[in-house]
Structure 1
Amino acid sequence: MLSQNLGYPRVGSQRELKKACEQFWAGKITRDELQNVARQIRHRNWETQKNAGIDLIPSNDFSLYDHVLDSSLMVGAIPARFHSLIDGKSNKELELYFAMARGVQRDGLDIKAMEMTKWFDTNYHYIVPEFVKNQKFSRYSDKVALEFEDARQAGIITKPVLVGPVTYLLSGKEKEEGFHRIELLDNLLPVYIEVLKDLYARGAQWVQLDEPCLVLDLTDREKLALQSAYAQIREAIPGLKILVATYFGALEDNLETAVEMSIDALHIDITRGVESLAAILANPGFVSSSKKLSVGVVDGRNIWKNDYKKSLDYLREAIAVLGEKRVIVAPSSSLLHSPHDLDQEKNENVLTPQIKNWMAFAKQKLGEVSTLKKLAITNWTEDATFKVNQEAIESRRSSELIHKPLVKKRVEGIKMSDFERQARFAERQKLQLEKLKLPLFPSTTIGSFPQTDEVRQLRANLKKGNLSVDEYESRIKEEIVSSLRWQEELGIDVLVHGEFERNDMVEYFGESLSGFVFTQNGWVQSYGSRCVKPPVIYGDVERPEAMTVKWSAFAQANSAKLVKGMLTGPVTILQWSFVRDDQPRKDTTFQIGLAIRDEVIDLEKAGIKVIQIDEPAIREGLPLRKSAWADYLKWAVDAFRLSAAGVADQTQIHTHMCYSEFNDIIGSIAAMDADVITIETSRSQMELLDAFADFNYPNEIGPGVYDIHSPRVPTVEEISQLLEKALKVIPAMNLWVNPDCGLKTRKWPETEAALRNMISAAKLLREAVEA
Structure 2
Amino acid sequence: MLSHNLGYPRVGSQRELKKASEQFWAGKINRDELQKVARQIRHRNWEAQKEAGIDLIPSNDFSLYDQVLDTSFLVGAIPQRYHQIVDGKSNNELDLYFAMARGVQRDGLDIKAMEMTKWFDTNYHYIVPEFVKDQKFSRYSDKVILEFEDAKQKGILTKPVLVGPVTYLLLGKEKEGGFNRIDLLDNLLPVYIDILKELNKRGAEWVQLDEPCLVLDLTPGEKLAIESAYAQISEAVPDLRILLATYFGALEDNLVLATALPVSALHIDLTRGSETLPAILTSEAFVNSGKILSLGVVDGRNIWKNDYKKSLKFIEWAIAVLGVSRVMVAPSSSLLHSPHDLDLEKNEEVLTPEIKNWMAFAKQKLNEISTLAKLAVTDYSTCPLFEANQVAVESRRTSTLIHKAAVKDRVAAIRSTDFERISVFSERQQIQLEKLKLPLFPSTTIGSFPQTDDVRQLRANLKKGILSLEEYEIRIEEEIVKSLRWQEGLGIDVLVHGEFERNDMVEYFGESLSGFVFTQNGWVQSYGSRCVKPPIIYGDVERPQPMTVRWSAFAQANSEKLVKGMLTGPVTILQWSFVRDDQPRKDTTFQIGLAIRDEVVDLEKAGIKVIQIDEPAIREGLPLRKSAWKAYLKWAVDAFRLSAAGVADQTQIHTHMCYSEFNDIIDSIAAMDADVITIETSRSQMELLDAFADFSYPNEIGPGVYDIHSPRVPTVDEIKSLLEKALQVIPARNLWVNPDCGLKTRKWPETEAALRNMISAANLLREEALAEH
Partner of 1:195: 195
Partner of 1:728: 728
Q: Distance in 2 between matches of 1:220 and 1:260?
A: 16
Partner of 2:520: 520
Q: Distance in 1 between matches of 2:599 and 2:591?
A: 13
Matched AA of 2:20: A
Q: Distance in 1 between matches of 2:514 and 2:631?
A: 27
Matched AA of 1:188: L
Q: Distance in 1 between matches of 2:34 and 2:106?
A: 21
Which digits, 9 at most, give the CA deviation of each residue in 1:672-718, with x for residues without a partner? Answer: 00000000000000000000000000000000000000000000000
Partner of 1:41: 41
Which digits, 9 at most, give the CA deviation of each residue in 1:733-765, with x for residues without a partner? Answer: 000000000000000000000000000000000
Partner of 2:12: 12
Matched AA of 1:56: L
Q: Distance in 1 between matches of 2:231 and 2:90?
A: 33
Q: Distance in 1 between matches of 2:69 and 2:86?
A: 16
Partner of 2:769: 769
Partner of 2:134: 134
Q: Distance in 2 between matches of 1:493 and 1:16?
A: 40
Partner of 1:373: 373
Runs (5+) with no aligned partner, structure 2: none
Matched, 1:77 2:72: no
Q: What secondary structure is seen at the aligned counterpart in 1 of 2:149?
A: helix
Which digits, 9 at most, give the CA deviation of each residue in 1:133-187, with x for residues without a partner? Answer: 1101000011000000100011100000000000000000000011110000000
Partner of 2:253: 253
Q: Distance in 2 between matches of 1:84 and 1:285?
A: 52
Partner of 1:642: 642
Matched AA of 2:400: E
Partner of 1:349: 349
Q: Distance in 1 between matches of 2:583 and 2:665?
A: 26
Residue 381 (structure 1) shift:
1.1
Residue 46 (structure 1) shift:
0.1
Residue 89 (structure 1) shift:
12
Matched AA of 2:30: T
TM-score (norm 2): 0.99
Q: Distance in 2 between matches of 1:275 and 1:230?
A: 25
Q: Distance in 1 between matches of 2:440 and 2:563?
A: 18
Q: What secondary structure is seen at the aligned counterpart in 1 of 2:272?
A: coil
CA contact (8 A) 2:514 2:541 kept: yes
Matched AA of 1:689: L
Partner of 1:21: 21
Count residues with an aligned counterpart.
771
Matched AA of 1:450: P
Q: Distance in 2 between matches of 1:86 and 1:321?
A: 55
Q: Distance in 2 between matches of 1:189 and 1:88?
A: 30
Matched, 1:505 2:505: yes
Q: Distance in 2 between matches of 1:202 and 1:135?
A: 29
Partner of 2:101: 101
Residue 90 (structure 1) shift:
11
Partner of 1:689: 689
CA-atom RMSD, angstroms? 0.8
Matched, 1:620 2:620: yes
Partner of 1:537: 537
CA contact (8 A) 2:604 2:651 kept: yes
Q: Distance in 1 between matches of 2:91 and 2:706?
A: 30
Q: What secondary structure is seen at the aligned counterpart in 2 of 1:380?
A: coil
Matched AA of 1:554: F
Percent identical pairs in the alignment equals 83
Partner of 2:658: 658
Q: Distance in 2 between matches of 1:700 and 1:462?
A: 40
Q: Distance in 2 between matches of 1:696 and 1:738?
A: 21
Q: Distance in 2 between matches of 1:566 and 1:70?
A: 36
Q: Distance in 2 between matches of 1:276 and 1:548?
A: 45
Q: What secondary structure is seen at the aligned counterpart in 2 of 1:161?
A: strand
- Deviation larger for 78-87 or 601-610: 78-87
Q: What secondary structure is seen at the aligned counterpart in 2 of 1:381?
A: coil
Partner of 2:335: 335
TM-score (norm 1): 1.00
Q: Distance in 2 between matches of 1:232 and 1:88?
A: 38
Residues 437-448 of structure 1: pairs in structure 2 closer than 5 A: 437-448=437-448
Partner of 1:208: 208
Which digits, 9 at most, give the CA deviation of each residue in 1:302-356, with x for residues without a partner? Answer: 0000000000000001000000100000000000000000000000000000000
Q: Distance in 1 between matches of 2:416 and 2:491?
A: 41
Q: Distance in 1 between matches of 2:695 and 2:293?
A: 45
Partner of 1:467: 467
Matched AA of 2:129: P
Q: Distance in 2 between matches of 1:91 and 1:32?
A: 16
Q: What secondary structure is seen at the aligned counterpart in 1 of 2:6?
A: coil
Residues 39-438 of structure 1: pairs in structure 2 closer than 5 A: 39-87=39-87, 92-438=92-438
Q: Distance in 2 between matches of 1:259 and 1:334?
A: 21
Q: What secondary structure is seen at the aligned counterpart in 2 of 1:184?
A: helix
Q: What secondary structure is seen at the aligned counterpart in 1 of 2:295?
A: strand
Matched AA of 1:575: Q
Q: Distance in 2 between matches of 1:83 and 1:352?
A: 53
Matched AA of 1:107: D
Q: What secondary structure is seen at the aligned counterpart in 1 of 2:381?
A: helix
CA contact (8 A) 2:708 2:739 kept: yes
Partner of 2:699: 699
Q: Structure 1's 88 and 201: CA in aligned 2 closer, same or farther, altered over 3 A?
A: farther
Q: Distance in 2 between matches of 1:628 and 1:91?
A: 48
Q: Distance in 1 between matches of 2:372 and 2:98?
A: 40
Q: Distance in 1 between matches of 2:216 and 2:77?
A: 24
Q: Structure 1's 644 and 290: CA in aligned 2 closer, same or farther, altered over 3 A?
A: same
Q: Distance in 2 between matches of 1:645 and 1:420?
A: 6
Residue 85 (structure 1) shift:
1.4
Q: What secondary structure is seen at the aligned counterpart in 2 of 1:619?
A: coil
Which digits, 9 at most, give the CA deviation of each residue in 1:74-98, with x for residues without a partner? Answer: 0000000001112499971100000
Residue 293 (structure 1) shift:
0.3
CA contact (8 A) 2:269 2:296 kept: yes
CA contact (8 A) 2:38 2:64 kept: yes
Q: Distance in 1 between matches of 2:636 and 2:268?
A: 28
Residue 409 (structure 1) shift:
0.1
- Deviation larger for 358-367 or 281-290: 281-290
Matched AA of 1:119: W
Q: Distance in 2 between matches of 1:342 and 1:127?
A: 29
Q: Distance in 1 between matches of 2:88 and 2:757?
A: 36
CA contact (8 A) 2:85 2:91 kept: no
Matched AA of 1:183: D
Q: Distance in 2 between matches of 1:551 and 1:384?
A: 52
Which digits, 9 at most, give the CA deviation of each residue in 1:227-257, with x for residues without a partner? Answer: 1101100100100000000000000000011
Residue 382 (structure 1) shift:
1.2
Q: What secondary structure is seen at the aligned counterpart in 2 of 1:86?
A: helix
Partner of 2:564: 564
Q: Structure 1's 91 and 134: CA in aligned 2 closer, same or farther, altered over 3 A?
A: closer
Q: Distance in 1 between matches of 2:522 and 2:206?
A: 31
Q: Distance in 2 between matches of 1:275 and 1:88?
A: 55
Q: Distance in 1 between matches of 2:540 and 2:174?
A: 45
Residue 272 (structure 1) shift:
0.1
